[in-house]
Structure 1
Amino acid sequence: MLSLEDFALEKHPINIPLDYYRVLGVPVQATTEQIAQAYHDRSVQLPRAEYSHKAITARQQLIRESYQILSEPQQRQNYDTKFLSSSTPEITIAPTQLAGALVILQEFGEYELVVKLSQNYQDSNLTPQENQDILLSVALANLELGRERWQQGKYEKAASFLLAGQKILAEQQICLKIQQEIQQDLCKLRPYRIIELLSLNLKHTKERQTGLNLLQEMLDKRQGIEGKTNDYSGLSLDDFLRFIQQIQSYLTVTEQQTIFEREAKRPSPVATYLAFYALLARGFAHKQPELIFRAKTLLKPLLKHQDIYLEEGVCNLLLGQTEAALQSLDKSQESATLDFIKQQSANSPDLLPGLCLYSERWLQSEVFPHFRDLTDCSTSLEDYFNDLDVQNYLNSLPQELNQQPEIIKETPIITPVSEQLFNASSLQTLQPPVKESKTTANLTMEEAVRETNARQTNKQSQILQNSNLWKIVLASLLGIGFLTIIASLWKKTTTPDSQLILSLNQPMIVIPETNQIEIPTPVVTENILPEILNNDQASIIVAKWLEAKSRAFGINHEINALNEILVDPLLSKRVEIANLVKSQNSYREYEHDFEIESVIMDENNPEKAIIIAQVREVGKYYQNERFLADKSYDSTLRVRYDLNKVDQRWLISNIQDLRSSQ
């Protein structure tokens, strides 16, 4: 008569890709003594305590069965004959032994096989306890697969395995300890995921948004950049500051503005400082002086504790307030930079020529390189001041810029342009001497620290006493400049195209002591784009257009954004449509994804090129605050972009839907 186990095996046999030698962990050539020793060792080893007694017993049965066959010479000979002739050895087990077999596969690192087998054989014929053991094996397999991918540097794939394992256990409400173990791994993995996702090409909007969301989660868990709340990432305050420095080179100027302006409201001195740079950079690059005005308002509270009057001077210059800009220079104690400015203004009645030259070089070498989409942006003051929108805004500014924007709107005191604004044409007459003195942008660290120490005694009372962060980031670097230090560290650690500088067993970034760092002398080069466009550059151009489109037709109607990427005849047409949408009290929300197909240079004219791209656009229309479903859409188009190079920048002159033209 058949036993219950034999009956189950006969009725529902399961073939598992295992062999008896592997169950015991011995080679085919193993001696009888080696097999006996392996059996003893495997019998005393126990799997994780979360497995049920039934699963552990099933595992022991398979180990004992393997020993019984291999320890008896005749049975081993019969088994070897069948085993050695098979290309894919298998053993046949009963369904009640499945959980034990999965435990054995788990022990030998066959994690993907565990997942596959569990999907094939998990069904209603198994008891709830057997199902739970199988799900536990799958969750543990996902945990180990996640750790393997982590070690391989595939961080997002690692997270997908960890999340899958966590979901299985959470849905079954079992094994809380393992759930916590997975969650700890996810927290430690989060910084790596952020960098991997943000470093993707700008066309991967959904994945990069996931990275931004993870970054915000991390900031919220820590309660800000300076926060001391444990986010379980393993990063100390210093580590996290270096992490923030590293990710900035993967972020666009708009992304940095959004993140750091939000963080500045906690409040956060460091976020305020970084938000200032983002606003200043975007305001100048996009010719939106209103952002520079906002940047200046952020700078004011920081001036109480830090000598950053040079930054204030640049702000005043870009707002056309030349007198205020020169007054800021008078307050600064950055002697090396002031000497440079004075030297460049040797034949001028004031320091304006030197300040202009310093501002252009500072923006080019110390500000723009830290924003992913501004590395090739022009830093010409002449172009900036010649822009009509810039002139119109500066004309509307009151003489006293120390008032808040709200007060300014109520009491507009307009000063004549001839008295108030910097004249862009004066830039054409700048003839700086060839020899340059050292500035804070090109001082070696040793020289800068020596200069700092000379002033340190008089400055101690100005340091924010109750903020360790300011002592770490700003006070200890007094007179050198936070962003300048970050720039030198970035150059030694990472670029957007470099391999991620993260290790599972080491701090995020190893930074040498201050006196070991040298800040390289910046090389001022012309902002000239390569003659031949590649796919990465094309992606940046298309991404800029799609962002400008979203801004121009969005709820805030930032129509000037179109000037940053379009040129006539397309510019005039799009501006007209955008103004019409605004006049109808309408706006649109867009989501975009795209892939570059090809880039074609005009053989007869190197100033012209064509980009072909597949673009998915989700458009949501609103009018009078009501969503218009009938006008909204989700379309994928094949689009041709005609480009013209204007002032060393590629701008779009025409856009054509290739499907409609066929």
Structure 2
Amino acid sequence: MQIPLDYYRILGVSIQATHEQLQQAYDDRSLQLPRREYGLAIASRQQLLDQAYHILADPDKRAAYNADFLKQNTEFLINTESLVEDFAIHSIEIQPEQLDGALLILHELGEYELVIRLGESQINGTSEAINQQRQEIIFTLALAYLELSREHWEQQDYEAAATIAQKGLKLLTQEKLFPQLQAEILAEYNKLRPYRILNFISEDLAKAKERSQGLQLLQEMLQERQGIDGLGNDGSGLNSHRFLLYLQQLRPYLTLNEQLTVFETVSRPSSAVDACLNVYILIAKGFAHKRPNCILKATSLLDQLNKHQDVYLEQAICALLLGLTELANITVEKTQETAVLNEIREHSKDSPDLIPGLYQYTEKWLQTEVYRQFRDLKQEQVSLKDYFGDENVQKTLEDVSKTTKWEDLSSESNNIEDESYITVHPKEENDNLISITGEIAMRKSALSEYQYLPEPNFPQRDRGKRKSTSSTSKTTRTNRRIEGRTVGYTDNNFASPNYPQSEPSRYQEKKTSLIEKPDSLNTKNPRFKKKTRSKRRKFQPFKLLLLGIGLLGGLSLSVLALKAISDSQSPLAALQGEQLAISLNQPPLEFPLANAQAVLSEALTAEGAKEVIQTWLNSKSQAFGPEYQIEQLKNILAEPLFLEWQKRAIALKAQNSYWKYQHQLEIQSVMTDAQNPEHATVAAKVRETAQFNQNGKIVASRSYDQNLSVRYDLAQHKGQWLIQNITVLN
């Protein structure tokens, strides 16, 4: 049988190679062993290597071979129609039993399409009897599917990559062979899913079929994860925190009804993250569709969240939209968002209450914070006048005012529980409360510099070796690099050529970044400029999300830990929070910062890191101890982390409670970013023994002794290392 190969390619040398080069290439190729799954194919491969060397090492035989070789190439140049797609113009004759070795060599040369073409025809044309050679041909064929899928992934052709990977999986599954390779292909297939979803839902609304596929994939992903903040594994490579960021990227590309459909199926009553998301969806639906009953449902969810977060502004807005102006006026005055409250007061100067300012603020909030999260509402203009002027709305509001007492609606918000400042979870160090309740983990500018979608992690190989199957001619190949659609996401000002950017709200700050809006869908390697919104609110479900990850003890522990964050800021802003910069037109392997390697810090040594962390532990003991030396925190914590811990220490003192800590510290590693040496990450083992005292008595149920793995994010400020973020890893 004829195989489109030549002896020069088999040895990996050019036609001008000297005898010494031939000898060296033959020795090297003979020593290079393929994967351990191969058996007979290795022997067949070696036979072809021997055959090639035997011909080319003999001057007379090489001269005769070259004459025939050049003749075939000359004929090809005269009659280019002899080229069948990307098959080689030169071929050699092999025995049928050498096919497995020939396919292995073609695979090593990167001729994956050719391997698939020859391999499929071979296994489809033979009997079903399983023999070793057939198994090894199937193995090579599956490897070719895997590599070709990877190439399409790199070229952003995600559907082609997924389809090819599926073929490899189907082949191995049907043949019931090579479970390890099946798992390898399946792992990469699953990691493609976030890209495929993003690609599908960024299509125009008119492309219903593609968008439906994206929604189906997203629902499958959520079900496998067991919810937005569930503990299931969907194989995407996104942890819970990164998955929430990923959802933030998707939401502006989903319509209101699409979000209702997707998230309703996985919504859980006990999930604070689900509650935050549903508040936005219900408010948007209630206002846009003029259905106040939806806003009433959102109010119920906010009442639950208000036990643990400052959501008075959102509650006041809902009360206003329900026509409960007295409740709205009282509720808005309770918010700790002083800047917003002052602005509302400023616009209510000539009024006996705050309703005029709240009215104006609500209209702007709906436009800039709510509508922008929904694709079909993004360009709609918010008008409270039209909303209240609707007859159905008026009728519903009349019914609400008759059946609802605002005192009842506001009663829960006045209940402050004694344990609202709990700072301990049995499986977490106090430090982790910053990740749970503060905005630091989400707001760190560094987060926007990293890509949260999984990257193809392919074995290193020389892509340049993938040449045409002729040593002297270049075979025309289809350029697989598609000039795809670019969907760049930033801090809620996502860059999309399909949609104009929203005007920044008055609560936004313009900041410099690396992302700018692409000029068109077909722009290669576009440059972006990102506008980063400063968040008006500190309303973030990351704190609740990360809390939920650690609550393996059940709902009772969830309730306990939720009480711990009652003095934190509002969680809803996480659904408006920092977005990722991901371009579908830029190969994942070329993400600029994805390949940035952390290196050992020269500025911060292990001894220096230990001193910094020990200072923190000592300051923590002093601030939360019986002397309440709260000012010590400022010497080691960067803002706004310092403000969070200061607030907690003050609350602890007000409860006539304190902690006694004992710490044992072991530094495991000190890493810095090569591109940002003023930032460092310290991994440490911390044993924390904590004794809780309240009203002069030890409370054993809240005391604990834990061994923890903790990551500290540090930054230099005026020559001093301060802690920016603290994350408990176990």
| Shift in alpha-carbon separation, 1:401–1:164, aligned structure 2, 3 A | farther
CA distance in 1: counterparts of 2:595 and 2:316, whole angstroms: 33
CA distance in 2: counterparts of 1:439 and 1:401, whole angstroms: 33
The amino acid of 2:507's aligned partner reads A
> Is 2:65 aligned against 1:65?
no
Q: Per-residue CA shift, 1:605-648, capped at 9, x if unaligned? A: xxxxxxxxxxxxxxxxxxxxxxxxxxxxxxxxxxxxxxxxxxxx
The percentage of aligned residue pairs carrying the same residue is 43
The amino acid of 1:92's aligned partner reads E
Corresponding residue of 1:598 = none
| Shift in alpha-carbon separation, 1:113–1:472, aligned structure 2, 3 A | farther
1:378-397 paired onto structure 2 within 5 Å:
378-397=381-400
The amino acid of 2:49's aligned partner reads I
Corresponding residue of 1:655 = none
Q: Is the 8 A contact 2:277 2:575 kept in 1?
A: no
2:32 to 18, 37, 45: 45
> Is 2:120 aligned against 1:119?
yes
1:332 to 331, 335, 338: 335
The amino acid of 1:26's aligned partner reads V
TM-score (norm 1): 0.62
Structure 1 residue 507: Cα displacement = 8.9
- For 1:145, what is the secondary structure of its paired residue? helix
Corresponding residue of 1:22 = 9
1:421-436 paired onto structure 2 within 5 Å:
none
Q: Is the 8 A contact 1:366 1:441 kept in 2?
A: no
2:219 to 213, 216, 230: 216
1:297-376 paired onto structure 2 within 5 Å:
297-376=300-379
Structure 1 residue 449: Cα displacement = 10
Corresponding residue of 2:248 = 245
Structure 1 residue 464: Cα displacement = 11
2:63 to 57, 77, 94: 77
> Is 2:291 aligned against 1:288?
yes
> Is 2:104 aligned against 1:103?
yes
> Is 2:41 aligned against 1:55?
yes
Q: Which has the higher helix share?
A: 1
| Shift in alpha-carbon separation, 1:447–1:284, aligned structure 2, 3 A | closer
Structure 1 residue 390: Cα displacement = 2.0
Q: Is the 8 A contact 1:155 1:193 kept in 2?
A: yes
Structure 1 residue 364: Cα displacement = 0.9
Structure 1 residue 116: Cα displacement = 1.5
| Shift in alpha-carbon separation, 1:298–1:180, aligned structure 2, 3 A | same
- For 1:200, what is the secondary structure of its paired residue? coil
| Shift in alpha-carbon separation, 1:329–1:498, aligned structure 2, 3 A | farther
Structure 1 residue 276: Cα displacement = 0.9
Q: Is the 8 A contact 2:269 2:275 kept in 1?
A: no
| Shift in alpha-carbon separation, 1:166–1:296, aligned structure 2, 3 A | same
Q: Is the 8 A contact 1:288 1:390 kept in 2?
A: yes
- For 1:114, what is the secondary structure of its paired residue? helix
Q: Per-residue CA shift, 1:84-139, capped at 9, x if unaligned? A: 12131111222222221111110111001111122344444566323333222221
Higher RCO by CA contacts (8 Å cutoff, separation 6 or greater): 2
> Is 2:182 aligned against 1:190?
no
The amino acid of 1:33's aligned partner reads E
Residue range with higher mean Cα deviation, 206-215 or 140-149: 206-215
1:455-534 paired onto structure 2 within 5 Å:
481-484=570-573, 487=576, 489-490=578-579, 493=581
The amino acid of 1:65's aligned partner reads Q
The amino acid of 1:57's aligned partner reads A
Q: Is the 8 A contact 1:344 1:354 kept in 2?
A: yes
Q: Is the 8 A contact 1:254 1:278 kept in 2?
A: no
Corresponding residue of 1:164 = 167
Corresponding residue of 1:93 = 94
The amino acid of 2:186's aligned partner reads Q
Q: Per-residue CA shift, 1:315-338, capped at 9, x if unaligned? A: 121122222222321332222111
Q: Is the 8 A contact 1:501 1:509 kept in 2?
A: no
Q: Is the 8 A contact 1:440 1:480 kept in 2?
A: no
1:539-550 paired onto structure 2 within 5 Å:
none
Q: Is the 8 A contact 2:154 2:587 kept in 1?
A: no
Q: Per-residue CA shift, 1:275-323, capped at 9, x if unaligned? A: 1101111221222222222222222211111111111111121122222
TM-score (norm 2): 0.56
Structure 1 residue 21: Cα displacement = 0.3
CA distance in 1: counterparts of 2:317 and 2:233, whole angstroms: 38
1:171-182 paired onto structure 2 within 5 Å:
171-182=174-185
CA distance in 1: counterparts of 2:254 and 2:563, whole angstroms: 23
Structure 1 residue 62: Cα displacement = 1.3
Q: Is the 8 A contact 1:224 1:268 kept in 2?
A: no
Q: Pairwise CA RMSD of aligned residues? A: 3.9
Q: Is the 8 A contact 2:283 2:295 kept in 1?
A: yes
Q: Is the 8 A contact 1:448 1:480 kept in 2?
A: no
Structure 1 residue 479: Cα displacement = 6.9
Q: Is the 8 A contact 2:508 2:534 kept in 1?
A: no
CA distance in 1: counterparts of 2:363 and 2:106, whole angstroms: 64
Residue range with higher mean Cα deviation, 471-480 or 27-36: 471-480
CA distance in 2: counterparts of 1:354 and 1:167, whole angstroms: 62
Structure 1 residue 22: Cα displacement = 0.2
CA distance in 1: counterparts of 2:202 and 2:18, whole angstroms: 55
- For 1:74, what is the secondary structure of its paired residue? helix
- For 2:152, what is the secondary structure of its paired residue? helix
Q: Is the 8 A contact 1:287 1:390 kept in 2?
A: yes
CA distance in 1: counterparts of 2:270 and 2:291, whole angstroms: 25
Q: Is the 8 A contact 1:263 1:272 kept in 2?
A: no
| Shift in alpha-carbon separation, 1:176–1:272, aligned structure 2, 3 A | same
Residue range with higher mean Cα deviation, 497-506 or 336-345: 497-506
CA distance in 2: counterparts of 1:266 and 1:59, whole angstroms: 61
CA distance in 2: counterparts of 1:387 and 1:182, whole angstroms: 56
CA distance in 2: counterparts of 1:135 and 1:467, whole angstroms: 42
Q: Is the 8 A contact 1:368 1:374 kept in 2?
A: yes
The amino acid of 1:210's aligned partner reads Q
CA distance in 1: counterparts of 2:342 and 2:227, whole angstroms: 38
- For 2:204, what is the secondary structure of its paired residue? coil
Q: Could you tell me which runs of 5 or more consecutive residues in structure 2 were left unpaired when the two chains were aligned.
A: 74-88, 407-503, 512-531, 539-543, 552-557, 597-636, 642-730
- For 1:225, what is the secondary structure of its paired residue? coil
CA distance in 2: counterparts of 1:101 and 1:110, whole angstroms: 11
| Shift in alpha-carbon separation, 1:103–1:152, aligned structure 2, 3 A | same
Corresponding residue of 1:613 = none
Equivalent residue pairs, number: 455
Structure 1 residue 505: Cα displacement = 7.7
Q: Per-residue CA shift, 1:434-470, capped at 9, x if unaligned? A: xxxx999347999999998xxxxxxxxx999877699
Q: Is the 8 A contact 1:340 1:439 kept in 2?
A: no
| Shift in alpha-carbon separation, 1:475–1:80, aligned structure 2, 3 A | farther
Q: Is the 8 A contact 1:369 1:375 kept in 2?
A: yes
2:272 to 263, 269, 273: 269
Structure 1 residue 17: Cα displacement = 1.3
Corresponding residue of 1:413 = none
CA distance in 1: counterparts of 2:589 and 2:566, whole angstroms: 28
Q: Is the 8 A contact 1:313 1:326 kept in 2?
A: yes
| Shift in alpha-carbon separation, 1:269–1:363, aligned structure 2, 3 A | same
| Shift in alpha-carbon separation, 1:168–1:204, aligned structure 2, 3 A | same
CA distance in 1: counterparts of 2:241 and 2:210, whole angstroms: 28
| Shift in alpha-carbon separation, 1:506–1:169, aligned structure 2, 3 A | farther
| Shift in alpha-carbon separation, 1:147–1:26, aligned structure 2, 3 A | same
Q: Is the 8 A contact 2:22 2:57 kept in 1?
A: yes
